[in-house]
Amino acid sequence: AFLASAWMHNHPEEAVLGPVLPEAADGRKRVVILGTGWGATSLVKSLDPREYEVVIVSPRNYFLFTPLLPSCTVGTLEHRSIMESIRYITRHKQGRFRFVEGECTKIDPENKKVIVQDKSELHGATTESELKYDYLVIGVGAETATFGIPGVKEHACFLKEIWDAKKIRSRLSSCIESAAFSGQDPKEQERLLHMVVVGGGPTGVEYAGELYDYLDEDLRKWYPEIADKFRITLIEAHNNVLASFSKELISYTESTFKDNKINVRTQSVVKGVSPTEVTIKNPQGEIETLPYGLLVWAAGNTARPVVRDLMAKFPELQTCRRGLSVDDKLRMLGADNIFVLGDASASKYAPTAQVANQQGKYLAKVLSKVVNAEDPSKALQVIKPFEYTHNGSLAYIGSEKAIADLPLFGSNYSTSGPMTYLFWKSAYLSNLFSVRNASLVLLDWTKKFAFGRDIAR
């Protein structure tokens, strides 16, 4: 490491290529896990490797509790409350896990190695190294789909990572302060106070709900002169929002949004985005432009480049565009030593935290049987296939109301309203990663109740 950093000091713009970690001296097998998200962290938590080496590789040295991410965009929660360091998570198993902060840019299944990039700004360059594995677990998740629509990447804000939530919070604050600037042009003020959300899936709906709470509980108090001009528009390509929820909950959400003056524009498809306007094709087939101050893009998932690159190596077996196809034991089709979990895979379940979490636990059992087995294929044969248990779907829709589709005695039970909101709160509180996270979230909710949201940028 010393030689590498001295070399980098003299050659700041060039990359060093060498092994991140040498192979284990005692000949132990190595499992490399890519990611520190829902799937990978659930696997790491359940895994207790004593007879093999585990290396976790991720550009993020923490786990992020995504279900509460929309709350960070308006200051209901502070971002650190829903993050947990991967070193803290593995603290009781010290010495059995190694963590490398870096992004895997290439997977070479033939030579059983991955290329890892350290993009730290500290070096002023990108450092690249290779890492060999005996087994590889891909838990890199997915990225937000832009469908190649012009201007989305450049001008819209996504809502997937902690830095996205920070960017939205800062942008929202800028729009409001600028709109409140004395003598602001009325047309410009109107634009700055128009918040547009694209995508009526659970991410877009939950974000619109949080934004409404911010308007209703804080903006009206701190900026009474402009609050009535604040507008929220939700754009959805299909006939209705929340396609995966029951009809009853879809109408409940749409009528709550109507009461809260959130303008839901269904059957409207975004065609382009400029720094100040979003262009849509409306249900009549006409092209309309909507000036906006903040545009949040939540139009679904697509495979990450590293996953697409790997799929391209197996053109006959890897044909699903959503992600990597796997067998019933989560083994990648075409590569015996690679397992895939969560949003990176094209399994038949929805890309949710629930699925990734259960797959992580399952994979821990698989790896404990397979890694040191004399005949791994035979060992795999006696393991039961992965079976997903659906525990229900929950979403917050603003104004202290939530919706839930719950499986009950073999059928679906739909519930909504303020009591469901309390259920939503308790369910997420009890599912947070650690007691530390749960305490911080409780503290944030109490702080918000007592003092309102922190609206400083």
Binding-site ranges for ligand NAD (CB under 6 A): 67, 149, 198-204, 206, 235-238, 243-244, 269-270, 298-301, 350-352, 393-395
Contacts of 239 (CB under 8 A, 6+ apart): 266, 267
State the nearest-atom distance from the C-beta of 38 to ligand FAD, in Å: 3
State the nearest-atom distance from the C-beta of 179 to ligand NAD, in Å: 26
State the nearest-atom distance from the C-beta of 419 to ligand FAD, in Å: 18
Residue length of the chain: 457
Q: Is 75 in the site for ligand FAD (CB under 6 A)?
A: no
Contact set for ligand FAD, span 408-437 (CB under 6 A) = none
Identify the residue among 34, 43, 208, 235 touching ligand FAD (CB under 6 A): 34
Q: Is 159 in the site for ligand FAD (CB under 6 A)?
A: yes
Contacts of 6 (CB under 8 A, 6+ apart): none
How many Å separate Cα 193 from the centre of its chain?
27
Residue 200's binding partner out of ligand FAD, ligand NAD, none, with CB under 5 to 8 Å set by partner kind: ligand NAD
Contacts of 426 (CB under 8 A, 6+ apart): none
Q: Buried b vs exposed e over 23-56: b needs ≥16 C-beta within 10 Å?
A: eeeeebbbbbbbbbbbbbbbbbbebebeebbbbb
Task: Return phi, psi of residue 190, to 5°.
Answer: -60, -45
Identify the residue among 66, 73, 81, 146 touching ligand FAD (CB under 6 A): 66
Pairing of strands 113-118, 62-64: unpaired
Q: Is 444 in the site for ligand FAD (CB under 6 A)?
A: no
If the CB atoms of residues 233 and 352 are measured against ligand FAD, the closer one turns out to be 352
Q: Closest CB to ligand FAD belongs to which residue?
A: 37
Identify the residue among 20, 31, 39, 437 touching ligand FAD (CB under 6 A): 39
Q: Using CB under 6 A, which of the segments 19-27, 134-142, 187-195, 253-261 binds ligand FAD?
A: 134-142
Q: Tokens for 217?
A: 């509980």
Distance CA 2, CA 8 (A): 10
Asked whether 165 and 79 are in contact (CB, 8 A), the reply is: yes
If the CB atoms of residues 67 and 151 are measured against ligand FAD, the closer one turns out to be 67
Task: Return phi, psi of residue 149, to 5°.
Answer: -70, 125
Residue 293's binding partner out of ligand NAD, ligand FAD, none, with CB under 5 to 8 Å set by partner kind: none
Residue 40's binding partner out of ligand NAD, ligand FAD, none, with CB under 5 to 8 Å set by partner kind: ligand FAD
Distance CA 301, CA 298 (A): 9
Residue 408's binding partner out of ligand FAD, ligand NAD, none, with CB under 5 to 8 Å set by partner kind: none
State the nearest-atom distance from the C-beta of 84 to ligand NAD, in Å: 19
Residue 354's binding partner out of ligand FAD, ligand NAD, none, with CB under 5 to 8 Å set by partner kind: ligand FAD
If the CB atoms of residues 45 and 191 are measured against ligand FAD, the closer one turns out to be 45
Contact set for ligand FAD, span 88-107 (CB under 6 A) = 103-104
Distance CA 44, CA 60 (A): 15
If the CB atoms of residues 6 and 350 are measured against ligand NAD, the closer one turns out to be 350
Distance CA 196, CA 235 (A): 7
Burial label for 449, CB within 10 Å (0-12, 13-18, 19+), is exposed
Residue closest to 310 by CA, chosen among 329, 328, 327, 335: 335
State the nearest-atom distance from the C-beta of 402 to ligand NAD, in Å: 9
Degrees to nearest 5, angle at CA 192 with 186 and 195: 130
Residue 179's binding partner out of ligand FAD, ligand NAD, none, with CB under 5 to 8 Å set by partner kind: none
Contacts of 49 (CB under 8 A, 6+ apart): 31, 96, 97, 367, 368, 371
Q: Is 249 in the site for ligand FAD (CB under 6 A)?
A: no
State the nearest-atom distance from the C-beta of 111 to ligand FAD, in Å: 18
If the CB atoms of residues 257 and 297 are measured against ligand FAD, the closer one turns out to be 297
Q: Is 201 in the site for ligand FAD (CB under 6 A)?
A: no
Q: Tokens for 142?
A: 């997915």
State the nearest-atom distance from the C-beta of 201 to ligand NAD, in Å: 2
Q: 């308007």: which residue's tokens? A: 215
Identify the residue among 20, 31, 35, 322 touching ligand FAD (CB under 6 A): 35
Q: Which residues bind ligand FAD (CB under 6 A)?
A: 34-40, 57-60, 66-67, 69-70, 103-104, 139-141, 159-160, 203, 304, 306, 342-344, 351-354, 356
